[in-house]
Amino acid sequence: MKRVKINRADKKAERALKRPPLKWSMITVLILCWILPLSIIAYAMLYVTTSKINKQIERTIVTSADNAIKISEMQMNAAITASKNASYLPTIKESWQQYKKDRNKTTLYGNVIRFLEQHYRYDNNFLFTTLMFTERPNEPYYTSYSGSANNVAYRTNLYFMEKVHPLVMEIYPNLDTDVKLINVEGHIYMIRNMMDSEYNPFAVIVMELDKDSIFGSLESTWGYTDSQVYVDGELLVADVGNEIKADKENFRTNSRTSRLIQKDGEYYTYTVRKPDIHYIGYVISLDKQLIIDETAAIKYVCAFFVIFMIPLTIIVFIFFHKKVTKPIEGLIGAYHIINEGEFGYQIERAGNSQEFKYLTEAFNSMSEKLKHQFETIYSEELALKDARIMALQSQINPHFLNNTLEIINWEARINEDYKVSQMIENLSIMLEATMDRRHRRFVTLAEELSYVEAYLFIISQRLGERMHVEKNVDDTLFNVKVPRLIIQPIIENAVEHGIIGQPRACVSLNVFADKDKLVVEVRNTGRMSKEDEEKIEVLLSDDYEVGELSSASLGIRNVNRRIKIIYGEECGLTVKNDENNETVSRITVKMDTTTIKDNK
């Protein structure tokens, strides 16, 4: 059964197959409408949330730093105020004036030590307090914080005279009424002059500040790791050995409030205050991991959100593949099977949904109807082919029979010999082939050649020695089935156009196999004119309308049409000139190879 080809449907199917498969369209939709929007939302959530958290962290850090610095400033102001007591209260000044009169060291010592102990021994802002008179600088008076051990006080006295005293002697002459803070090997000392009525320094008070008491509040800053304090750009206090990379040029600009700064991957707060004539800068280094950890939670949530999308996307893809893509692929596969000619093919239920159940039933119903319609059309086509073949066979030239009868009559009257009998026998063969009483569509090649032999015998009696016939037939092909009466009309055309009217001419018949094709080649002397070639081309075309034709012309047209009806467009009849000045008529038909094997 041949497959019915519907060109438009096939072209539409080809265009459809060139489009992207459904699964890629589905992946594109998932990416554009699911993964990409959710990723953007996750990023936006992360950005907004981390921004808010960072701002909140910054406010917390700045607020805690400002509060810590305020406490430190209060402690420092309390220490400065306490240092002024030595100048504002008359005890030291009067004791020194009395000493200048009576030179009583014991009284002076007792008065000074008693004053220092009363005002500074119990003040936790000071670890060690020293007072020395400018006229007797190498005889300082000491007192230490009550919480310090005696041996500490002793060691401090020695340390002061060795490390601090030389610096004090350099500083106090130019200090005037100001306060000077110095750092000596990590110890912070505050230096202040005590002035007489003429504003000349008569004594110097030096106090070692307790860093934990003065600057300990800085540790209450959120995320604190260490800190540094600068006075007029010079480092005063440092918790660690390495100096924080702060911008010292800004240490002379009052910032009032703290600022959170990120620099070189580190976080710190930066503040400059000016309580009096000096700029005090506070730099507090922060734990960056603690800051990062505050935003890590939201990052983990967003990461989990993104990771959660991956299996969810896979589940959605598997669902659509199983419920949509796979059933559609089944329908496409069934379409290809039907397109290959297997009409009536039925598919199992595609998918579990109601929609695909309906599509499956509709497809199977369509396939069954298509099979029925194809079988009906095919049967009608076969019947039509048979009718055409029978109609073509009925058109065999009656003039040939008339001419043959004239020859027989002529021979009978003149010669009265056995030729008459032979001609009658051959004529009966021709009549039998023409009438086809058994209504056979195909005969063996051997039987078809017997019709040719009968025709050639009869026509040779008419033409005599003017016609020479050559035959080259592969006898292994005798059992091959061929349509009836396809060779004799070609021989007739060769005789009519190649021999009649010529003093002497030759007709050759060659029959051979070419792969799965049977080729019948008839050659006759003489070339066709250009006009004859155009006539043959039109005669063998499908668009030619039959009018009044000669028997030979009608015969070759009928042969060509019958072969094409039976075997298709790849087979048929061609008539052409060749390089040997001969006209070559070639018949090509398909053959059943089993008949050749049986013959062998």
State the sign of the Cα–Cα–Cα–Cα dihedral 484, 487, 491, 496: positive
DSSP 509: E
Q: Against a cut of 0.75, is the pTM above it?
A: no
Of 14-18, 471-475, 487-491, least confident by mean pLDDT is 14-18
- Region 239-268: mean pLDDT is 66
Read off the CATH number of the domain in which 107 is found: 3.30.450
Higher pLDDT residue, 303 or 6? 303
The predicted structure's pLDDT at residue 273: 82
According to DSSP H, which parts of 415-527 are helical? 419-435, 445-463, 488-498
Question: Band of the pLDDT at 168, cuts 50, 70, 90?
Answer: very high
The helix (run of H) or strand (run of E) holding residue 212 is: helix 211-215
Choose the final residue of a domain: 214, 248, 266: 214
Choose the final residue of a domain: 194, 214, 234: 214
DSSP characters over 51-103? HHHHHHHHHHHHHHHHHHHHHHHHHHHHHHHHHHHHHHSSHHHHHHHHHHHH-
> Is residue 569 assigned to a domain?
yes
Joined tokens for residue 349: 């239920």
The predicted structure's pLDDT at residue 373: 76
Instruction: Note whether 491 and 452 are within 8 A (CB).
Output: yes
- Region 82-98: mean pLDDT is 89
State the sign of the Cα–Cα–Cα–Cα dihedral 488, 489, 494, 500: positive
- Region 7-28: mean pLDDT is 58
Joined tokens for residue 64: 């805690």
> Is residue 361 assigned to a domain?
no
- Region 136-164: mean pLDDT is 76
> Is residue 555 assigned to a domain?
yes
The predicted structure's pLDDT at residue 207: 92
Give me the number of domains the chain comprises: 2
Higher pLDDT residue, 600 or 372? 372
Of 5-14, 71-80, 105-114, 268-277, least confident by mean pLDDT is 5-14
Pairwise CA distance, residues 165 & 163, whole Å: 6
What does residue 286 show for φ and ψ, rounded to 5 degrees?
A: -115, 160
Higher pLDDT residue, 42 or 133? 133
> Mean pLDDT over all residues of the chain?
77
Choose the final residue of a domain: 162, 194, 214: 214
Residue 17 has pLDDT above 90, yes or no: no
Tell me the helices (H) and strands (E) count for the chain, helix number first: 18, 17
- Region 444-454: mean pLDDT is 88
Residue 472 has pLDDT above 80, yes or no: yes
The predicted structure's pLDDT at residue 7: 47
Q: Are strands 467-473 and 442-444 parallel, antiparallel or unpaired?
A: unpaired
The predicted structure's pLDDT at residue 177: 86
Pairwise CA distance, residues 452 & 450, whole Å: 5
> Is residue 53 assigned to a domain?
no
Read off the CATH number of the domain in which 585 is found: 3.30.565.10
Residue among 411, 426, 573 at smallest CA distance from 494: 573
Coil/strand/helix, residue 199: coil
The helix (run of H) or strand (run of E) holding residue 382 is: helix 354-393
Question: Band of the pLDDT at 385, cuts 50, 70, 90?
Answer: low
The predicted structure's pLDDT at residue 374: 73
Instruction: Note whether 62 and 257 are within 8 A (CB).
Output: yes
> Is residue 585 assigned to a domain?
yes
Over pLDDT 90: what percentage of the chain? 15
pLDDT tens-digit series, residues 339-362: 777 777 777 766 666 766 777 777
Over pLDDT 70: what percentage of the chain? 71
> Is residue 113 assigned to a domain?
yes
pLDDT tens-digit series, residues 289-303: 776 666 666 666 767
Residues of the domain holding 567: 394-599
Highest mean pLDDT among 5-9, 113-117, 340-344, 577-581: 113-117
> Is residue 268 assigned to a domain?
no
The predicted structure's pLDDT at residue 241: 47
Residue among 518, 472, 522 at smallest CA distance from 496: 522
The predicted structure's pLDDT at residue 518: 94
The predicted structure's pLDDT at residue 595: 45
The predicted structure's pLDDT at residue 111: 92
> Is residue 444 assigned to a domain?
yes
- Region 534-538: mean pLDDT is 84
Higher pLDDT residue, 64 or 332? 64
Residue 445 has pLDDT above 80, yes or no: yes
Left (φ > 0), alpha (ψ -120 to 50) or beta: where does 182 sit? beta
Question: Band of the pLDDT at 554, cuts 50, 70, 90?
Answer: confident
Coil/strand/helix, residue 307: helix
Joined tokens for residue 44: 């936006």
pLDDT tens-digit series, residues 197-222: 888 899 999 999 988 888 888 888 88
